[in-house]
Structure 1
Amino acid sequence: MNVLRQLQRYYKEKMSFLLLSVLCLAAATALGLVYPNLLRKLIDEVIVPKQFDTLPVLALTLIAVVILKAGLLFLHGFFGGRLGNYLAYRLRNACYEKLQFLSFRYYDTAKTGDLMSRLTGDLEAIRNFIGFGFAQLLNLFFMVLFGSMMMMSINWQLTLISLITIPILTFVALRFESKIHPAFQEMRLALSSLTTAVQENITGVRTVKSFAREPFEVDKFALRNGRYQENQVNAAALWARYFPFMELLASACIIILLGVGGTLVIRKALSLGELVAFFSLIWYIINPMWSIGFHINNYTQSKASGERVMELLQQHVDVHDEPEAVLLESQNVKGHVTFDHVTFAYGNKMPAVVDIHLDAPPGTVIGILGGTGSGKSTIIQLLMRAYDVNQGAIKIDGIDIRNIKVQSLRSQISAVFQETFLFSSSIRGNIAYGLKDVSMDDVIRAAQLAKAHEFIMELPEGYDTVVGERGMGLSGGQKQRIAIARALLKNPKILILDDATSAVDMETEHEIQAGFQEVMQGRTTFIIAHRISSLRHADEILVLNEGRIVQRGTHEQLTNIPGPYQDVYRIQYADHLTRVSGKAGGQV
């Protein structure tokens, strides 16, 4: 119950709904005791003595009880439903908010399908139990208590004899709960794995089809589906093992009652009406005992689901605002970026960047070149404070970014990544993402600078054209240009271009670069690129290898110094250099 206690803070304000739901169900349960009493009176005071005058009164009483009980059950459902929906609403908001502020480190290993499972199936299990299951589980106690008290008032000796197997039945039910809980935990994990497989397949369907790997994906899904089925079968096996024994114990109560009670009636120690009432009351107690497995099942599922949801809500946020963190005022930010001997490693791995030192005054263009895994993107991630540095410091206008509020810091930075992500929205909505009161003229201006305006106007609905999920329906270059327009519209003090023109042709890249010359004015710009053409106008170029700066300087300086930069330049401009060399040889 510890997990359910932790969830209390999400429905504490509506605790009265839980109380009212339980009270209404308890009252309806108590009214159920009227039926055995009416039955006893019907037999002992009407049928046996043949006094039918009171029959109408008994009938009217029964009708009133039925109507009142129906009303109480309606109120139980009403208050329980309100409570469950309120809890689910609060939990969904809390989980989604948590996901927004979790650090990049968490998403490095998180699986989308697993997160979707927590926000759907797990939340639904919690909603059902808190809204209805908890009151019904508590009602089992009321039914046993009320029924036992009524039976004791008729004949306490017969009560004790008839209920002799109830403690054993309770022990078996609790034993069942201890076995079924781990089974449901495994089932939830298997379902998350299954959901992840479906999500990844749908997202990467183009890759699957281009490699003709449909049979492989079918087999992979079948394997995970088989694991889920195996967990379901294991849970069903536990039910099959315990429930026949529970039913046997319950049936033993009936046999004992009929044997002992019938003997007492024959000896005139118990009236026929009291025996019939006893028989009705014993079912009043046994029925909840039979359904205890169902309620324990709901409790166990909600407990396993609650653990998974609380695990998400209690995730540590690695990058967060320090108590003394300050806000950056846009009008005062200059964009002076400094890396002061920065070293960083992902977890326990080897350092991704080592002793990075650079000074980028406002308006400076910094180019970064290096092979795969050299640390280029890590430098940008650290600047955006996706991770905190292990050693050294990164400063903006002399302030350590760890002392700046995260949202305030990122509001001054715009980034265009190599892997472009677009939302299922209109092109205008994607360009103006997250910005309020943006005019159409500003959107068009940003699109023109990104060389996206022309192809946008050729689309059926222009800027109102809705792109598919993740930008499906647009080419890689078109998506990249929309992403560039989105970054430019933000009007940042620091602009990051992480291979931002990798998906466009050389001619379009040249046009975009020309547009960048205008927007880079007064901004500190970081350009990560594999093409020398994107870096040649940078004020300083850093060449990285295994996380270290191995060369630095301008394009002209680095092309004249033997090293990695000159090697890349010669490879990319081999044809051009050959032609120049040939012309020079011909002139000689």
Structure 2
Amino acid sequence: MIVQPGVQPIPIRGHAEPAIDNVPGGSGPVWVPGKPEGFDQIAPRLKAMIRVARYHGVELDPSEFKAASPDTIPNAADLSQWAQNGGMWSRAVRIRWSHLLRFENTGPVVLLFSDGGAGILTGASNEQNVVFLKSVDAPEDAEAVIIDELRLSQVWSGEAVLLRSARSYVAADAPFTIGWLVDLVRLESRPLRDIGIASFTLSILTILPPLIVMTVVNKVLQFSSMSTLALLTAVIAVVFIYETLLGHARRLIINVVGARLDTKLNLHVFSRLLRLPLDYFERHPAGETLYHLAQVYRIREFLTGKLLSTFLDMITLGVLIPVMFYINATLAWMVIACAVVIMLIIFAFLAPLRRGYQRVVDAETWKSAALGETVVGIKTVKALGLEPQRKALWDERVADAGKARLAFGQLANWPQTLVTPIERVMVIGTMLIGAYLAMNDPSGYMVGSLFAFMMIAQRVGQPLVGLARLVEDYEEVGAAIGEAASVLNRPLESSSNSAGLRPKLIGEIRFSDLTFSYIGTRTPALDRVSFDVPAGTMFGIVGRSGSGKSTIARLLQGINRDYSGFLKLDGVDLKEINLRHLRQGLGVVLQDNFLFRGSIRDNIIAGRAGLTLSDAMRAAHLAGAAEFIERMPNGYDTYIEEGSPNLSGGQRQRLAIARALIHNPTILILDEATSALDPESEAVVSANLMRIASGRTMIIVSHRLASLTECDQILVMDQGKVIDVAPHSVLLERCGIYRQLWFQQNRHLEGRHGHLAAVPPRLA
């Protein structure tokens, strides 16, 4: 072994060894994608990534890691992508020993070993020619191991993953503004540089044809020089070929840049949309949201269309305008003067055009909201025969939008009307004055110069006008940015990637003096609510409409967090828990559950990585859905259309329960899950409740008291306050509200049983 003087080597196979035995194919535990069961079951490479990410204040979720193949060892590219999805800057690299020695005072680096393990580089000493490594299983306060080059080369071939906190403005949490868009475009600096070079070269080539024409007129025609004509023909042929090839390459690069910008915009928009709180979607129609987000595509067209073309035109202008002044300063000043007048006209109309366009946006928003609401509620429209009313509303919205667009179009027509004659003067006027100057030119060279100037002026005039109109287009795009920002810049849910604790959920719930009010209301939905739910129990919640039952379920899901008092899960305040981690530990079944378009298997698995058909079958069996799925012609591959018209309400509900159970949640919330079911379907679901509840905490919110008689405790709510908490039999004796609700729901049993307090037989 080669060691430096004065450095005591520590064996690599020691307490804090970087070569780890717990790797796929070894004797230790192996991480399975989609089914992490604890830190000790995670593969060493993932452990290393998690520990380095924690150093930077980011918590990576192992369940979100997607490997190229579930059966292979995680590679550097997959690990880097995982960290980037978690909101970090990361790169998969291959480096040499000399590079490692430069990491003296930097953050930790993940080294990937040849045997599938990993180690954490915590520092280096260039003077001693050693590095300091920690095992992924070493305690936080453990000393790093000193390793020299020879010893490390036995287990490491150069693969590493670099990690740090993301510091770019182009990030998931950055507000959607024009500055964000500029930074987005700036990330494409290398291809934009290539486009600029190509455009500058094309601008140089653009000068040659007019100059050649000028030479032909002044030299060839005047002196009948065939040799000069032949030479000029060869030059033009070469220029045309080169210009064609260069233009083709530039258009390809522009298409690539446009596609990349479009992709980044789409990913950012959808990511922000998913992180908006549920309150936003409950207060805003789907059509309004979709219309606002559709403005993003106008922004994209502006970025990759007019803005980019104007940027390229500016390069052309920078080359051609000096040539214009070289040929004839008088005519050049005429062109510049006309362009300035056009810009002044457009600037004068900017403010009224901005106001008119805002009226168009408002009208289109209301029109889209009416359309979206009709499509979403089409079942109700058909059932109640509301087609005439909805058509009348649509006609009104279309009329308002049409009036706004007509007024805006009439106003926008004026600058075009005023600009048109000036554009003609820019072309025809310069030609007439140029002809006058040519007739008074004794040398005769002005004729060729006039031809050259007119060819260049055609290439210069349009970009100058386009530059003026770019300001007008920017005003519309600015309004579009505002519309998109009205959705994308809403306050987001707590960061699901990095913020918050990730405790192991056991299922103990405690409400302590909790008060909560919805936005815009004065009366609290929950008023000083206090109760406990022991882990592993069935807990029912009942009460009249508006008593706060569903609000409790919303708070448990983290949908609303702006409450006072305390809501704790296993002794940890819910506000401190990572939101995604919380919801991955919950299973939620609502009264009306949405099934996605796709197969039954895909709906049960819900896209969770690592889950298979056998997992879906187990969840379906537990939810009582297996019997009707297996009777279908295609079984678990049966395709469900939007709205699931080929399934009954009971079948949809049992599939929703299977979907909630697929990841074996610690806490299962049934929020009026059986209230819309027919008696047969409700009996099937109720018969499985005890089996479903085994080993987990179950919260059942229901107005049907018969479905709660098996609960260990039942919470009675009224007007946002806790009235009583006790088992069913105790509540019948001492709680007047509960007794009244039981009487109302079981009136039909009076004659049959002779008393109202009869408890239904135990549900099996």
Percent identity over the alignment? 27
User: Which of 684, 702, 708 does residue 529 from structure 1 map onto?
Assistant: 702
Q: Deviations over 1:142-177 (max 9, x none)?
A: 444434322221232443355433321222233445
Quick one: distance in 2 between partners of 1:306 and 1:583?
63
Contact 2:750 2:756 in 1 (8 A): no
Matching of residues 110-121 of structure 1 within 5 Å: 110-119=284-293, 121=294
Pairing 1:228–2:421 present: no
Task: Work out the CA distance in 2 between the residues paired with 1:334 and 1:143.
Answer: 68
Residues 489 and 253 of structure 1: CA distance in aligned 2, closer, same or farther (over 3 Å) = closer
The alignment partner of 1:386 has SS state of coil
Whichever residue aligns with residue 492 of structure 2, its letter is V
SS at match of 2:545: coil
Distance, in Å, in 2 between the alignment partners of 1:285 and 1:528 is 72
Indicate whether 1:328 and 2:500 are aligned. Answer: no
Correspondence 1:305 to 2:480: yes
Alignment partner of 1:343 is 2:518:
no
Does residue 520 of the first structure (1) align with residue 693 of the second (2)?
A: yes
SS in 2 for 1:492: coil
In the TM superposition, 1:548-587 aligns within 5 A as 548-561=721-734, 563-581=736-754
How far apart are 1:20 and its partner, in Å?
Answer: 2.1
Q: CA 1:316 to 1:547, structure 2 compared with 1: closer, same or farther past 3 Å?
A: same
Query: Structure 1 residues 141, 431: closer, same or farther in 2, change over 3 A?
Result: closer
Taking the aligned partners of 1:82 and 1:461, their CA distance within structure 2 comes to 43
TM-score by length of 1: 0.90
- Residue 376 of structure 1 aligns with an amino acid whose one-letter code is K
The alignment partner of 1:251 has SS state of helix
Q: Which amino acid aligns with 2:279?
A: R
Equivalent-residue separation in structure 2 for 1:436 and 1:542 (angstroms): 37
User: Counterpart in 1 of 2:339?
Assistant: 166
1:78 aligns with one of 231, 236, 252: 252
* Corresponding residue to 1:285 among 455, 460, 475: 460
Pick from 529, 543, 551: which aligns with 1:378? 551
1:104 counterpart letter in structure 2: L
Q: Deviation of residue 433 (structure 1)? A: 2.1
User: 564-573 or 253-262: which moved more?
Assistant: 253-262
**Is the contact between residue 285 and residue 373 of structure 2 (CA under 8 Å) also seen in structure 1?**
no
**Corresponding residue for 1:29?**
203
Partner of 1:150: 323
Q: Contact conserved, 1:366 with 1:538, CA < 8 A, in 2?
A: yes
Q: Does 1:316 align with 2:488?
A: no
Deviation at 1:322, TM superposition (A): 11
Q: Deviations over 1:212-246 (max 9, x none)?
A: 22233333333333333334323422332111211
- In structure 2, the partner of 1:47 is 221
- Deviation of 1:516 after TM superposition, in Å, equals 0.8
Call closer, same or farther: CA 1:37–1:450 in 2, change over 3 Å. same
Amino acid at match of 1:392: G
Give the 3-state SS of the residue equivalent to 2:716 in structure 1. Answer: strand
Shift of residue 338, structure 1, vs aligned partner: 0.4
Q: Which moved more, 1:221-230 or 1:367-376?
A: 221-230
Structure 2: distance between partners of 1:254 and 1:426 = 64
Partners of 2:397 and 2:201 in 1: how far apart? 47
Cα distance 1:438–1:82, how it changes in 2: closer, same or farther (>3 A)?
A: closer
TM-score by length of 2: 0.70
Counterpart contact for 1:415–1:498, Cα < 8 Å = yes
Mapped partners of 1:165, 1:516: distance in 2: 81
| Aligned equivalent of 2:237 | 63
| Residue 387 of structure 1: how far off its partner (Å) | 1.0
Is the Cα–Cα contact under 8 Å of residues 343 and 356 in structure 1 kept in the other structure?
yes
Q: Which moved more, 1:35-44 or 1:220-229?
A: 220-229
Unaligned runs of 5+ residues in structure 2 are 1-175, 758-764
Q: Which residue number in structure 2 is paired with residue 272 of structure 1?
A: 447
Please tell me whether the aligned partners of residues 113 and 199 of structure 1 are also in contact (alpha carbons under 8 angstroms): yes
Q: Indicate conservation of the 8 Å contact 2:649/2:676, yes or no.
A: yes
SS of structure 2 residue aligned to 1:305: helix
Give the letter aligned to residue 653 of structure 2.
Q
Q: Do the aligned partners of residues 168 and 215 (structure 1) sit closer, same or farther apart at CA in structure 2, a change above 3 Å counting?
A: same
Q: Deviations along 1:113-161, whole A, 9 cap, x unmatched?
A: 3443455x43332333322422321244344443432222123244335
* AA partner of residue 596 (structure 2): F
2:676 is paired with a residue of what secondary structure? coil
2:291 aligned with 1:127? no
Residue-by-residue CA offset, 1:512-567 (whole Å, 9 max, x unaligned):
22211122133221111111101122222222222112333222122223622111
Alignment partner of 1:404 is 2:577: yes
Q: Deviations over 1:63-93 (max 9, x none)?
A: 3222222223222221211111111111211
Deviation, structure 1 residue 342: 0.8
Of residues 395-404 and 147-156 in structure 1, the stretch that sits farther from structure 2 once superposed is 147-156
RMSD across aligned positions (CA): 2.8
Q: Report the secondary structure of 2:640's partner residue.
A: coil
More helix by share: 1
Q: Is the 8 A contact 1:22 1:135 kept in 2?
A: no
Which amino acid is the alignment partner of residue 240 of structure 2?
A: V
Pick from 622, 625, 631: which aligns with 1:449?
A: 622
**In structure 1, what is the equivalent of residue 309 of structure 2?**
136
List runs of 5+ in structure 1 lacking aligned partners: none
Structure 1 residue aligned with 2:8: none
Instruction: Report the Cα distance in structure 2 between the residues aligned to 1:531 and 1:246, rounded to whole angstroms.
Output: 72
What are the within-5 Å matches in structure 2 for residues 245-264 of structure 1?
A: 245-254=418-427, 256-264=429-437
Choose from 262, 269, 276 the match for 1:102.
Answer: 276
Q: Which amino acid aligns with 2:462?
A: N
Q: Contact between 1:431 and 1:443, CA under 8 Å: does it hold in 2?
A: yes
CA contact (8 A) 1:354 1:548 kept: yes
In structure 2, how many angstroms separate the alpha carbons of the residues matched to 1:179 and 1:143?
32
The whole-number CA distance in structure 1 between the counterparts of 2:745 and 2:566 is: 35
Match of 2:188 in 1: 14
Q: Provide the rounded CA distance (Å) in 2 between the counterparts of 1:439 and 1:498.
A: 27
CA distance in 2, matches of 1:573, 1:458: 35
Conservation of the 8 A alpha-carbon contact between 1:162 and 1:256 = no
Matched to 1:343, the amino acid is T
- Contact 2:625–2:655 under 8 Å retained in 1: yes
